[in-house]
Amino acid sequence: MRSHAGFTMGKILTLSVIKADVGGFVGHSDVHPALLEKAKSCLSASSILTDFHVSHVGDDINLIMTHYGGRNNGEIHHLAWDTFIACTEVAKSLKLYGAGQDLLSDSFSGNMRGMGPGVAEMEFEERPSEPVIVFMADKTEPGAWNLPVYKMFADPFNTIGLVIDPKAHCGFNFEVRDLIENKKVTFAAPEELYDLLVFIGAPGRYCVKAVFHKQTGEIAAVSSTQRLNLMAGRYVGKDDPVLIVRCQSGLPAVGEVLEPFANPHLVSGWMRGSHTGPLMPVPVAQATPARFDGPPRVVALGFQMCNGKLVGPQDFFADPSFDNARRKALDVADYMRTLGPFEPHRLHLEEMEYTTLPDVMHRLKDRFVKLS
Ligand code: 13P
Ligand code: 13P
Ligand code: MG
Ligand code: MG
């Protein structure tokens, strides 16, 4: 690894979560332990991180890192890139499936934007107590966070703090990205809830990128919004997004942030990135999508930040209070599977644009006869 001078510890901490699928074990189900070990040794060898935790969900490696270098820091992104390259070498040596899958470029060029890996980063001054939750999903897309983030920060039936916590009562601002036209727009909740929902109810195109406390302007949540297929122009795999949420003291409580996942919602990305299925909350040990390469998974790792150190993780969905959610997800999965190759289990045509479907259409185009 390259050697670094390190960043000076300041008031503003950066929490960076960078993830990539660089080879599955077996198929698209899991990350081989040798890759996780390699990632840990790469990050340990660096002096620019204050702390890190390496984890995975399904076949995606998640690098959870703290430092004082700010967002979009070239050194941090380069370190993550080098780590994924080193892991890819291990994946190739074991002939793992899709080695290097998410690395769209041969070389690093400044920062991670457009390179394939997913990135969620936030900068904040650590509060006297700073609970954060890192959500990591597999077999789905960034818009999968829209519904749960809406519930956390805008739905009083989910977050009673919006009603009874004087510090949360003002509401939150939602920054929404249009991933097709590459634009952003901010909506204030609760005043503009109906406008907000027009857009984030279409998660294939509009994604909640960040949420801010309305009075203090403090960052409360941030997600990765990379869409691999749109970047690559072909089917690469799903984007398998991450989400960071700060909790408590004017922000939703930990339990309010976890609550939306008790009702597994339908997301895009199951089997070949081309099917809809329930997002099943699981602990890391159960984050091994198997049935029909799924159903899609979400893991929640809680940390107490302490002077930049990641105290944790607490593997929240290991708790039995999510057993019923898993059962419900499996029942929904049974039902969705009965639909086989039909929509809405199979994604609608527009979402299939980057699969083999265009080839089939092209091959058969002369067979279509115009009706007068
Ligand atoms: P805080 O307002 O201190 O975050 O406490 C709320 C709480 O813990 C509810 O579960
Ligand atoms: P990943 O996006 O997790 O690699 O899954 C791809 C796939 O095709 C699963 O069926
Ligand atoms: Mg994969
Ligand atoms: Mg994956």
Helices (H) and strands (E) in the chain, counts: 10, 15
337 CA from centroid of ligand 4 (Å): 20
Check if 127 has its Cβ closer than 6 Å to any atom of ligand 1. no
Residue 85 host element (H or E): helix 74-93
Residue boundaries of the structural domains of the chain:
1-125, 127-349
Closest by CA to 57, choosing from 247, 317, 274, is: 317
pTM of the complete model: 0.95
List the pLDDT tens digit at each of the 372 positions of the chain: 444 457 888 899 999 999 999 999 999 999 999 999 999 999 999 999 999 999 999 999 999 999 999 999 999 999 999 999 999 999 999 999 999 988 988 788 888 888 899 999 999 999 999 999 999 999 999 999 999 999 999 999 999 999 999 999 999 999 999 998 999 999 999 999 999 999 999 999 999 999 999 999 999 999 998 877 777 777 676 789 999 999 999 999 999 999 999 999 999 999 999 999 999 999 999 999 999 999 999 999 999 999 999 999 999 999 999 999 999 999 999 999 999 999 999 998 878 766 777 888 889 999 999 998
Count Cα atoms within 13 angstroms, Cβ side, for 203: 21
Residue 219 to residue 309: CA distance in whole angstroms: 19
Longest CA pairwise span in the chain (Å): 73
147 CA from centroid of ligand 4 (Å): 20
Identify the burial level of 5 via C-beta atoms within 10 angstroms of its C-beta, where 0-12 means exposed, 13-18 middle and 19 or more buried. Answer: exposed
Residue 154 to residue 174: CA distance in whole angstroms: 10
Backbone angles phi, psi at 107, to 5 degrees: -140, 160
Q: Which CATH class is domain 1-125?
A: alpha beta
Ion ligand 3 — residues with CB under 5 Å?
A: 21, 24, 28, 59, 98, 237
Backbone angles phi, psi at 342, to 5 degrees: -100, 145
Check if 165 has its Cβ closer than 6 Å to any atom of ligand 1. yes
Q: What is the SS3 assignment for 127-164? A: CCCEEEEEEEEECCCHHHHHHHHHHHHHCCCCCCHHHH
Tally Cβ neighbours within 10 Å of residue 262.
13
